[in-house]
Structure 1
């Protein structure tokens, strides 16, 4: 046997039989660990204890004779070997998840109605493809989509008046399950009528006295409160001159020159390229705010809702977050 730099013993003979003895459950657990970036969050998602998750990770590392994660306090990142195993695990999950549909009786027809609540401007090719595939496979399922504010989406799910929600959710809700759908980076922008438009070599101090266009949830305790915290920490003195719960209206007001505003980079990329708005510092962005798939864990699902959730989770498990835009 030979030793690896990570301290694991590598047995070339044992490697030959890896395919026959590798436990798929360990790979699935590792897939969730990698997606969540945390042992504790993976445990909560899988409804297992943290020691059980840690033990599963240890067993997989021993079977593969490779260190798969790098621990940084409560957070973990994947090693190079871990990234490769993560990709393979996602591919295997996608294959395994197709077993159920393949074994369904051809005569089975899924019908019913799904009520989906969503914040505005969900921009994702993976999500669009998922919807197209779901409709192609289950054409008799009716989908009703309502666009609401994040707070209203969460409230409706807690009251069990909707099937699922796509929403910001700054504070986890004990009764709601959540999965990261999109990771959005917010940054400052101004419109072409603004005095900072087109100016290069700007610094954060150039923005400190500027007035703002703000989301109504951009306040302490709101879903976009990290934007408020950032302004307070940086000593910004400008006032809020316009606000709206709608991303489209915030973009309209920024473009009209009311003030600078914080918007998701990927959503306004085309507007920047068209010289309608101008990117401002800080160049690394202001804050990352996730969009989640949410549902009430206590709500009894119909067959249509169960299949929708199964397919949605399959899409999330088999695509990288960064590649969903």
Structure 2
């Protein structure tokens, strides 16, 4: 049994805890062994092992359960990882914050966004933002909604534009727009081009969908619609990216869900065919999400305020797309 010394007092811990130890721990927690972590950090294995031991000594808790063939975070390690990731995000943002003190309009905004968001209000806000702050910069990174939310929580992203299933009390949310999902198939599918189809015609057809098309996830209403038309339980292809789900549908892998307003051009071009149901479609809300505890630079604050102002003055009917 490993004995761990009594933890430091809170004030002494603040004075003596080295950020480099936390940084090493974050890499360790995301690795499968000390050897792997050492390689990622370009350090020797004994150096990483020593860093872990010093951190455990200072906290008075065992952080990683290590045995031959076993490398797993303890409960204390899981808690520390969450906090360390947030600290890491804050440190990474310090350079941007310091730069903005000298120049108010040269901030950078990092947007974590779900794939293929089609929202005129959002596009107009970007135009207004650039017009008002031409020296500010933007980057938009596409990811699964879950990853976008984690990026905002860890302060790696300024805001997220994504789907939300369960709200984290550490984040703030505002509904940006509402969209409706329907079923579609591609040109090589046997149902393509057929008129007068009913839900019964979809029974037993293979399906493709999003990774969040699950009862416990953000696209729960789509999962229920898929069950209602009796598509096979086995989904033959999934992706977090709307473009890739669209690709698989067009390629003929199976029937799949897409936002109706996003694929209007594909319908006109003959790349997709609309399938039942045609009414009572599941409504999915896309939110703007931000971390109220993050210290935003002036550019981030300006963009968020513009987005919220646009949402506030536009009734939900004007932000509903079908």
Q: TM-score, normalised by structure 1?
A: 0.63
Alpha-carbon distance between aligned partners in 2 of 1:197 and 1:321, rounded to the nearest angstrom: 34
Deviations 1:89-134 (CA, angstroms, capped at 9, x unpaired): xxxxxxxxxxxxxxxxxxx943311111111111122221211111
- Candidates 117, 134, 140, aligned match of 1:139: 134
> RMSD across aligned C-alpha pairs, in angstroms?
1.8
Q: How does 1:1-325 map to 2 (within 5 A)?
A: 109-237=104-232, 239-324=234-319
Deviations 1:258-294 (CA, angstroms, capped at 9, x unpaired): 1100000000011011111111111115411111000
Superposition deviation, residue 233 in structure 1? 4.5
Alpha-carbon distance between aligned partners in 2 of 1:223 and 1:145, rounded to the nearest angstrom: 21
Alpha-carbon distance between aligned partners in 2 of 1:235 and 1:243, rounded to the nearest angstrom: 18
SS in 1 for 2:152: helix
Alpha-carbon distance between aligned partners in 1 of 2:107 and 2:233, rounded to the nearest angstrom: 51
Superposition deviation, residue 300 in structure 1? 2.2
Superposition deviation, residue 304 in structure 1? 2.0
Alpha-carbon distance between aligned partners in 2 of 1:238 and 1:207, rounded to the nearest angstrom: 12
Superposition deviation, residue 155 in structure 1? 1.0
CA contact (8 A) 1:188 1:286 kept: no
The count of corresponding residues between Structure 1 and Structure 2 is 218
When structure 1 is superposed on structure 2, of 243-252 and 315-324 the one drifting more is 315-324
Superposition deviation, residue 295 in structure 1? 0.3
CA contact (8 A) 1:183 1:289 kept: yes
Q: Which has the larger radius of gyration?
A: 2
CA contact (8 A) 1:118 1:165 kept: yes
CA contact (8 A) 1:208 1:238 kept: no
Alpha-carbon distance between aligned partners in 1 of 2:114 and 2:229, rounded to the nearest angstrom: 29
Superposition deviation, residue 200 in structure 1? 1.1
Superposition deviation, residue 229 in structure 1? 2.5
Superposition deviation, residue 234 in structure 1? 4.6
Alpha-carbon distance between aligned partners in 2 of 1:139 and 1:155, rounded to the nearest angstrom: 29
SS in 2 for 1:307: helix
> Where does the alignment leave 5 or more consecutive residues of structure 2 unmatched?
1-102
Superposition deviation, residue 238 in structure 1? 5.3
CA contact (8 A) 1:180 1:290 kept: yes
SS in 1 for 2:138: strand
SS in 2 for 1:115: strand
> Where does the alignment leave 5 or more consecutive residues of structure 1 unmatched?
1-107
CA contact (8 A) 2:173 2:289 kept: yes
Alpha-carbon distance between aligned partners in 2 of 1:159 and 1:109, rounded to the nearest angstrom: 24
